[in-house]
Structure 1
């Protein structure tokens, strides 16, 4: 019997190295050589597992999107009250600051989406997946009588995700223009208006 292939393990190691490199160097300054040096490999060896740097970064993006969304889904599903679920979603969507690795990674990789359709498609999928989570919470709140929406659930959900994206970008700047608590309060202000529900008592 032959030895089991180490390819999955090596690929996972390269994804981890690339993830750290993107956060530390930024995606626009990243070179294949940076990944190779970080992994203790030659550039040719890296290309054995990923034909191009683009292919490697696509896997980094896929993993980051899945981890971010899974964390948010878990945070929301841990509660039964739609109000508590909405609050948990808002809190789980904001970066803690410039050192928040996962959020910084997603913002960095998002810059490629302006030019690459494959990256753009995954970025759109990230947005839409979060919108669906929010919409489900909002619809449950309407069904149980705790929310009275000022617009369609899908519209409110899209606005909430867009607010998170905008404020989150500011939170990850080298010099943040606000802190996470302020951003959360601003999003909650919109959520209270959009749901006609006082969420402060759950804070």
Structure 2
């Protein structure tokens, strides 16, 4: 039996191989063999560490969600002004384009959330964590007098995340109908209306 440290290393390698396979083939065409080939193992060896492909992909999704949320939190933490924090949050939520691996990975994994409760739960967690960051920024800005909210902070926060998701889904397409700058500008325009603060001036 493999030692614990070796097992942890092999699991990390399999998660990396699965991530690459999802990005290359997409979720709909993904097979266990695709992951095994990238890891240099047999399908049986992969199943020794992860009894099901679903379980392995859940770990890929978990890691992607954590990384995405950490990046967004770090972008916001770099500022103290609520307006700058809001702009940083908006700027960190959109993919850079079709080659944005992290956002593409999250969208690919999100396609099966409709059918699998485990994936759906993590997708809901991703949504909730982003909403919570936005809500905190909005409430702090309103308390400081920087924002005059047009609705409750939670509603505005949810709308901002949904706008990011909608535009982001278009931005990772092979041929995007809108560019990143326009998408970000549009979200900023909504945020300006919702907060009573002209973010364009910043």
Give the corresponding residue for 2:126: 126
Per-residue Cα deviation, 1:73-124 (whole angstroms, up to 9, x for no partner): 0100110000000000000000000000000000000001010000000000
- Where do 1:77-96 residues align within 5 Å? 77-96=77-96
**TM-score by structure 2 length?**
0.98
Distance 1:130 1:192, change over 3 A: same
| Distance in 2 separating the partners of 1:181 and 1:65 | 24
- Where do 1:105-184 residues align within 5 Å? 105-184=105-184
**TM-score by structure 1 length?**
0.97
| Distance in 1 separating the partners of 2:60 and 2:140 | 34
Q: Give the CA deviation at 1:201.
A: 2.1
Distance 1:3 1:154, change over 3 A: closer
SS in 1 for 2:83: helix
| Distance in 2 separating the partners of 1:5 and 1:187 | 45
Pairs aligned (count): 201
Structure 1 stretches lacking a partner, 5+ long: none
CA RMSD of aligned residues (A): 1.0
Q: Give the CA deviation at 1:3.
A: 6.1
Give the corresponding residue for 2:191: 191
Superposed structure 1 runs of 4+ greater than 6 Å apart: none
| Distance in 2 separating the partners of 1:3 and 1:88 | 43
